[in-house]
Amino acid sequence: MLDRRQFTLIGNEGIGNPRSQVAQSMAYFQGRLYLGVTHPKGEGPMDAARVLRFDSKRMRWDTVYQSPLIEADENAIVHDIYRGESGAKLGRQRHQMVPRHRGFRCMTLFHPNAATAPWLFASTLSHWGSQLVRSQDGESLEEASEPGLGNRDVLSFRTIQGFRNMLFVSPVGTVKAGVMDRMFGDVARLYVSEDPVSGAWQEAIPPGFDDPTNRSVFCMTVFNGFLYAGTGNPDCGFDLWKTDADGTAPFTWKRVLTRGAWRYNLNEFVGSMAEFDGNLYVGTGIPGLGYDKAYDVGPAAAEIIRVAPDDSWELVTGTPRFTPAGLKAPTSHLGPGFGDPENSAMWSMAAWDGVLYVGTHNCSSFHTALRGEPSIYGGFQLWATRDGDHWQALTMDGFGDPFATGVRTLMPTPEGLYVGTSTHREVEKFWSRRTGMPSTPGAGGLSVWLGSKAASGRGASAR
């Protein structure tokens, strides 16, 4: 198991752009790390989405792609339903040119067939319809779909997953009539294609899995020969479904978990999944600061659930409760959020070198700023386990940065475990205005760390 001293800082302050706040997607392709960068607002040219490539041998970052700019229109300034009535608008009228894409929400490797090398696919975050882009050589990206697969209201494809030489994509979030919902659409949909560039897409599920309260397919992974799909459901809590994708779309699906694993909407969505030691681990969450103000859900901290190949399940961290499958008590003896009510989401998971790592989204720094406390504390937490039941915290304070509020990405690779953050330096500026205390000058922006057994301490940043 890695310890704190074995994580080296390899990129910070947004890696060349302090407005780049979220390391939202990662993939390991042709021996290098690819990073999709997201900007929360997309206000002007500096908020253009980027794909960066890291060469661990030369310790160097290169830009592979940067979003083109377009003329601002009515979609450049939208009302974000998760920001409430105060500061609810994203965008500014003074910008005439804005980025077509302000982020990359997911990356994956896709094998069109067993005889060919994989392609790198990524999905953008855009107010004018998310697009898929792809690369065969890792040197450049090309468009691989029309905006929103024909529906320009689609904000993003949050999860894209290859399975049985087919690509599955899930639209998540909408921008329409000047209003943005970053989390949900009208009903959950999932599309599949054997040839994504051809534009031939089919519906892989009945809308909402025949339940209109399932508003999105939020997370996908492959486990034990099945494709698993976890939903977002602010009314009833997430569902977890699986299919072998045999036959023709829409396929036959089996429901594995429902009603947020009987915690209902306090487990609003599936935020992360990973296979470890023959089981599937499922991390849950609630958007925002642990309270979904758009749908009045929470506050609550996140849980981890362990699903066996036979579909039985155990509660790993969370709230004890009676369910149709009997009493479920946490096998780790830890409550929701690893015992911390500020851990609103199990945001990322990855198994590396026989250890399962889980990164959280932690709200402490936001809440200390809102309360005007004398100092700001918090930062993401990174936890690890060798057996799924006994957990150790590798950091409780964002590797020393309280403004690094979440581990948005974890990527296991031959050279080590990459950790990408969501970092919000503006929290300190808000705290300073509220308390009258001076803020510390700082550029802000995301950070990327590399955990490796060969490392022994904090390294120089790469920008």
CATH number of the CATH domain containing 68? 2.120.10.80
| Cα 236 to Cα 268: distance, rounded to the nearest angstrom | 8
Count CA atoms closer than 13 A to 269's CA, side-chain side: 29
Tokens 């969505």: give the residue.
269
Q: Does any domain span residue 459?
A: no
- pLDDT 10s per residue in the chain (463 long)? 999 999 999 999 999 999 999 999 999 999 999 999 999 888 899 999 999 999 999 999 999 999 999 999 989 989 888 865 544 566 666 789 999 999 999 999 999 887 789 999 999 999 999 999 999 999 999 999 999 999 999 999 999 999 999 999 999 999 998 899 999 999 999 999 999 999 999 999 999 999 999 999 999 999 999 999 999 999 999 999 999 999 999 999 999 999 999 999 999 999 999 999 999 999 999 999 999 999 999 999 999 999 999 999 999 999 999 999 999 999 999 999 999 999 999 999 999 999 999 999 999 999 999 999 999 999 999 999 999 999 999 999 999 999 999 999 999 999 999 999 999 988 888 898 889 988 877 678 999 999 999 875 544 333 3
Q: Does any domain span residue 460?
A: no
Q: Does any domain span residue 352?
A: yes
Residue 1 tokens read as: 């198991």
Q: Does any domain span residue 458?
A: no
Q: Which domain holds residue 417?
A: 4-451
Nearest to 348 by CA among 358, 362, 337: 358
Query: How many folded domains does the chain comprise?
Result: 1
pLDDT computed for residue 461 by the predictor: 39
Residue type, 31: G
pLDDT computed for residue 92 by the predictor: 60
Residue 144 tokens read as: 């691989």
Q: Does any domain span residue 258?
A: yes
Q: Does any domain span residue 461?
A: no
Q: Does any domain span residue 462?
A: no
Q: Does any domain span residue 463?
A: no
Nearest to 378 by CA among 353, 348, 344: 344
Nearest to 450 by CA among 409, 422, 396, 404: 409
pLDDT computed for residue 462 by the predictor: 38
